[in-house]
Amino acid sequence: MNRVRFSVGDKALVADLRKPDHVRTPDYLIGHTGEVIQFCGYFLNPEDLSVGRTSGPMVPLYRIQFRMETLWRAPQRHPDDRLCIEIYDHWLIPAIETGSDF
């Protein structure tokens, strides 16, 4: 089982893994920084499950919030609007505080 790398309040950048198969992380989040708001537990990697690999390490899953105005730079977005989504640990890297979206 992989260790938990992020705590609530940590900033995490969504990595560009360029995976060709089934993925659970939307492209529009790649390269953006969000804030961890919850550790959801350990689960089998759904990318492996989608191609029939039904065993393997359990992967930490986090709920991350993103400011919608940084994802879609439309003038009608309210600065308090957030998108919350679950993202698996292997898609996340610790964000450098300067220049982050969040």
pLDDT tops 60 at residue 99: no
Q: What is the DSSP letter of 31?
A: T
pLDDT of 22 reads: 67
The better pLDDT of the pair 91, 75 is held by: 91
Can you tell me the distance from the alpha carbon of 19 to that of 3, in angstroms, rounded to the nearest whole number? 23
Report whether pLDDT(86) > 80: yes
- Could you give the CA distance from residue 6 to residue 60 in angstroms, rounded to a whole number? 9
pLDDT tens digits, one per residue of 33-62: 999 999 999 999 888 887 788 888 899 999
pLDDT for residue 102: 66
Q: What is the pTM of this model?
A: 0.85
User: Which two tokens mark 90?
Assistant: 């292997």
Q: Which domains does the chain have, with CATH numbers?
A: 11-94 (2.30.30.50)
Contacts 24+ apart (CB under 8 A), 21-28: 21/47, 21/50, 21/51, 22/46, 22/47, 22/50, 22/51, 23/47, 24/87, 24/88, 25/87, 25/88, 25/91, 26/85, 28/71
- The CA distance from 10 to 50, in Å, is 29
What local confidence, expressed as pLDDT, does residue 1 receive? 66
The encoded tokens of residue 75 equal: 């003038």
